[in-house]
């Protein structure tokens, strides 16, 4: 079956669409954590957290100023970088006290006809223990480009990447009984969920793909698990 967006995708708003932007600023009145990301970037560039109303108000004022300048043509026209804001998952599952995510891969091997392959990836961990209140992005973002900015990275580098077999053994040992998980949850329930989500994302975008012989793409997909084992 097809999943509902809210089953796997945090509440999100596009800041380049006026209606969604206004809906977000109307919603975000209390001390809630949101994460703001460029829609087309990598390596954690341009990502920041909105942790209080003051930060949200600053962002709103900046966007309003940019919009006013464009309308009044005070600056040469350049469309602002499209961004999204997502509700931050502030209670993630932790491994040895550290935040992590799982990078897996979808290979679109052919588009005429469509041929897809799934590949188990690896676990990416932060260098330091998780603290939702921290302003240090290396506490919140797991990719290696960001982690390299942490002063502990050189001595902890090997600990920031786990093989899936290690992850599976850890979950079996630490969480299986206390959380009522089936044996090898990582290679059964979790893997199936990743495949479901990847397939749904592919189905949503396949009409935009060029269908020519020889075309292919390898897509890295990142999955976060919360403390209740929701993917």
CA 156 to chain centre: 23
Give per-residue pLDDT as tens, 68-110: 666 666 556 555 678 999 999 999 999 999 999 999 999 999 9
Record the pTM. 0.87
**Residue 41's pLDDT is what?**
74
Give per-residue pLDDT as tens, 171-186: 999 999 999 999 999 9
Give per-residue pLDDT as tens, 109-138: 999 899 999 999 999 999 999 999 999 999
User: What contacts 24+ positions apart, CB below 8 Å, involve 66-72?
Assistant: none
Listing DSSP states for 10-36 in one string gives --EEETTSHHHHHHHHHH--SS--EEE
User: Distance between CA atoms of 16 and 207, rounded to whole angstroms?
Assistant: 23
- pLDDT of residue 199 exceeding 60: yes
What the chain holds in terms of domains, given with CATH numbers, is 5-87 (3.30.1490.20), 94-223 (no CATH)
- pLDDT of residue 43 exceeding 80: no
pLDDT mean across residues, the chain:
91
**Residue 14's pLDDT is what?**
94
- Kindly list the distances between the CA atom of residue 201 and the CA atoms of 80, 94, 108, 178, in Å, as whole numbers in the listed order: 26, 26, 12, 32
Mean pLDDT of 27-51: 86
- Label residue 32 by pLDDT band (50, 70, 90): confident
């Amino acid at each position: 079956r097809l999943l509902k967006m809210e089953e796997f995708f945090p509440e999100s708003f596009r800041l380049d669409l006026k209606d969604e932007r206004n809906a977000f600023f109307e919603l975000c009145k209390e001390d809630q954590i949101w994460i703001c990301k460029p829609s087309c970037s990598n390596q954690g560039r341009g990502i920041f957290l909105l942790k209080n109303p003051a930060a949200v108000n600053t962002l709103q004022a900046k966007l309003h100023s940019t919009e006013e300048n464009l309308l009044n043509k005070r600056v040469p026209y350049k469309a602002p970088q499209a961004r999204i804001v997502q509700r931050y998952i502030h209670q993630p599952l932790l491994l040895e006290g550290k935040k992590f995510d799982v990078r897996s891969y979808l290979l679109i091997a052919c588009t005429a006809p469509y041929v897809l392959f799934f590949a188990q990836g690896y676990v990416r961990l932060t260098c330091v223990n998780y603290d939702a209140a921290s302003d240090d992005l290396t506490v919140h973002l797991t990719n290696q480009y960001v982690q390299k900015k942490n002063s502990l990275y050189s001595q902890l580098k090997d600990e920031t990447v786990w093989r899936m077999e290690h992850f599976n053994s850890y979950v079996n040992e630490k969480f299986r009984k206390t959380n009522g998980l089936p044996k090898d949850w990582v290679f059964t329930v979790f893997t199936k969920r990743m495949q479901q989500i990847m397939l749904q994302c592919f189905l949503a975008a396949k009409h935009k793909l060029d269908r020519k012989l020889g075309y292919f793409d390898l897509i890295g997909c990142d999955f976060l698990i919360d403390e209740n084992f929701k993917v």
